[in-house]
Every structure is written in structure tokens, then in C-alpha cells.
């Protein structure tokens, strides 16, 4: 392992110098996790953009595709299964519908509810994007030793379970 201090280590050292009364050690985890997340986001969104999608577009289309045939969910279900707010969801669906990737119709049981469905074109786009997405994720995780990747997944799973409601 490289012993050269990274940016987070330098920041911690500065805080230890300036505020020796505080424990800056959590920055070692949080700071690096934040920096990794920023780098990963850039790597992931590049693949989405290659398919003409923004991150939220990919999320909506993937959520519809994961639903299985007939590849549809209500707008409320989409909001529950993605990290997009209901207000943001309406804008996203408008854009996806305008691009011919989804359709929107009234629910048969409740005309006030809207059902969003993948079009054939939408399914083709998300299938191609998801194939490239998984290859990209594999490339990124392959930077780690397989045992480290497994340990990191276990640790992050446990931590996330404590942080999420």
C-alpha cells in the first residue's frame, strides 16, 4: 500500500494540528467514502449519458424494467423504488414520455392514479444501458481484491442497515 498521504490524510493532519481537542479519525472513513462516491458517480453517469440518459432517467427506466412484464408501475411505486422525489418524478416522466421511452395512462382501478410503462424503445434503451452499466460496475469493483470487495460489501450492508429507516 502506498504510504503517501492522500488529501483526506492531509486534511486530518491539519485538523489535528488546529484542533487537537477533537478526534478527526471519522474523517478517514467519511472523507474517503465521499471522495470515492463522487468519483464513482462520474464513472457511472458517463455510461448513462452514452445512452442519452441522465442518472434519474436511468433509475426510472431500470425500475420499470425490474418490475417484469408488462414493465409498468404507478407513479407512486416509482417514487418508492427510486431516489427521486414525487415532484422530480413528474418532470422525469414528462421527459421520458417526450422521448418515447415510457407511456402514461390512468389506472383502471383509480383514474386519479397514473401508470407508467416502458415502451418497446424504452426497453431496448434500458437493456443496452444496463448491460453497459454492469460492465462498468464490474470494471470499477475489479480495482479491488475480490476478498476486499466482499468485505466492503458486507461492511457497507451492515452500516447502511443501521443508517436507513
73-130 pLDDT, tens per residue?
Answer: 998 889 888 877 777 888 899 999 999 999 999 878 776 788 999 999 999 999 999 9
3 state SS of 73: strand
* CATH hierarchy code of domain 53-165: 1.10.10.10
Q: Which residue has the cell 431516489?
A: 83
pLDDT of residue 3: 64
Domain locations in the chain as residue ranges? 53-165
Residue among 130, 131, 129, 163 nearest 33 (CA) = 163
Query: For residue 118, what is the enclosing H or E element?
Result: strand 114-118
pLDDT of residue 26: 96
Amino acid at each position: 500500500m502506498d504510504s503517501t498521504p492522500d488529501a483526506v490524510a492531509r486534511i486530518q493532519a491539519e485538523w489535528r494540528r488546529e484542533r487537537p481537542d477533537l478526534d478527526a479519525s471519522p474523517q478517514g472513513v467519511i472523507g474517503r467514502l465521499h471522495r470515492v462516491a463522487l468519483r464513482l458517480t462520474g464513472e457511472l453517469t458517463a455510461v448513462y449519458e452514452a445512452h442519452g440518459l441522465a442518472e434519474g432517467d436511468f433509475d426510472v427506466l431500470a425500475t420499470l424494467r425490474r418490475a417484469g412484464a408488462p414493465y409498468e408501475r404507478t407513479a407512486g411505486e416509482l417514487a418508492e423504488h427510486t431516489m427521486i422525489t414525487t415532484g422530480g418524478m413528474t418532470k422525469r416522466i414528462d421527459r421520458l414520455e417526450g422521448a418515447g421511452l415510457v407511456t402514461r395512462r390512468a389506472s383502471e382501478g383509480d383514474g386519479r392514479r397514473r401508470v407508467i410503462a416502458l415502451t418497446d424503445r424504452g426497453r431496448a434503451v434500458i437493456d443496452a444501458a444496463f448491460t453497459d452499466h454492469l460492465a462498468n460496475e464490474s470494471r470499477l469493483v475489479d480495482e479491488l481484491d475480490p476478498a476486499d470487495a466482499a468485505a466492503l460489501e458486507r461492511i457497507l450492508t451492515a452500516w447502511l442497515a443501521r443508517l436507513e429507516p
